[in-house]
Amino acid sequence: MLHIRYYFNIRLILTFIALTTFTTFTTIFTTSMIIVIQCIDRAGLVASVSAILAKNLFNIVSLREHVDQADNLFFMRLEVTFGGDETTLENQLRKVLPDDATILINPLPDKKVVVMVTKEYHCLADILIRNYFGTLGATVQCVIGNHKVLEDICKRFDMPFYAISHEQVSKEVFEEKIAATIDQYNPDYIVLAKFMRILSPKLVAKFPMRIINIHHSFLPAFIGASPYRQAFERGVKLIGATAHFVSNELDEGPIIAQQIIPVSHSFTAADMVKAGKEIETAVLARALKLVFEDRVFVYKNKTVVFE
């Protein structure tokens, strides 16, 4: 009887040790970390980075890299597992990378967003739903509108809404109010979810490559009001949408995502508007996912996107 009890005590101790070891091992290799690198290209960069990671027991889960040969630029995004020290890792990486290298480790994991709107609801509604269910990849802090039309839907999601009218005030005063409201939240990104006002270079410069816009892809063919009506009357066979970072050149900032869908003679003007809203919503959602997951590199007026 004593031997049996002794045997079971030994088994319990060994089981505890095994479970503890497995739990520690599992914790180590399931802690996810994102590493983003951009620098001048040279031979051996991938090997050097991989060697540093292996030396520190980091396990590479995903690795994407690209070289722009025209500009001799190297881009890399890695997802690794291990709960190591970020500062030590960055210091070691800097020793093997070019001096100008940009290295971001776990860049802004909990991103904050301010959304700006006018009257159209489709993009905002999609963002609010994703935010509510925790699938947006960021947290919406507030919504700013130059009309009150969309205040009600924000209330339904308990989302702060700021109505800042552009009417009867100068553009400078209008944008100062917007900037002051944004500054209260210090967001990482500003999303123009069909915000139908042109931002001044001063406001754009305040948030460089941090403002994301969505628009139809008819530009420059159909400008002004009712682009889908114009497209219908022209008999176009494709409609689409473009999501891009905002620059001082109107609707010409670095492109993040684009998509087109075919349309036919059977489409009415209303059908085109409906299809246009659906594709704008989808393209903006895709662009935000890419940006929030740190899959987008911006250089010159272009992007490298690791999907």
The CA distances from residue 184 to 80, 139, 240, 301, in Å, are 34, 15, 35, 30
* CATH 3.40.50.170 domain extents, the chain: 112-305
Structure tokens at 115: 């959304």
Q: Which two tokens stand for residue 21?
A: 């070891």
Residue 28 has pLDDT above 50, yes or no: no
| pTM strictly above 0.85 | yes
CA distance 105 to 132: 27
Catalytic center residues: 251
Q: What is the mean pLDDT of the chain?
A: 89
Strands 102-105 and 32-40: antiparallel
Query: Is residue 152 very low, low, confident or very high in pLDDT (cuts 50, 70, 90)?
Result: very high
Please determine, for residue 106, whether its predicted confidence score (pLDDT) is greater than 90: no
pLDDT at 7 over 60: no
For the chain, give percent helix, strand, coil, nearest 5: 40, 25, 35
CA triple 155-135-133, angle to 5 deg: 45
CATH architecture of 112-305: 3-Layer(aba) Sandwich (3.40)
User: Which residues belong to CATH 3.30.70.260 in the chain?
Assistant: 31-105
Q: How far apart are CA 191 and CA 210, in angstroms?
A: 8
* Reported CATH class of domain 31-105: alpha beta
pLDDT for 108 beyond 90: no
Instruction: For 222-281, write each residue's pLDDT tens digit.
Output: 766 788 888 888 899 999 999 999 998 877 899 999 999 999 999 999 999 999 999 999
Query: Helix, strand, or coil here: 256?
Result: strand
Q: Over 70: is that where the pLDDT of 151 sits?
A: yes
- SS3 for 119? coil
Find the mean pLDDT for residues 5-30: 44
Q: Are 133 and 161 in contact (CB under 8 A)?
A: no
For 145, phi then psi, to 5°, come to: -130, 140
- Over residues 207-231, the pLDDT tens digits come to 999 999 999 876 557 766 788 888 8
CB 216 within 8 A of CB 227: yes
Query: How far is the C-alpha of 248 from the C-alpha of 201, rounded, in Å?
Result: 5
Strand ranges across the sheet with 189-192: 161-163, 139-145, 112-117, 189-192, 211-216, 238-245, 255-262
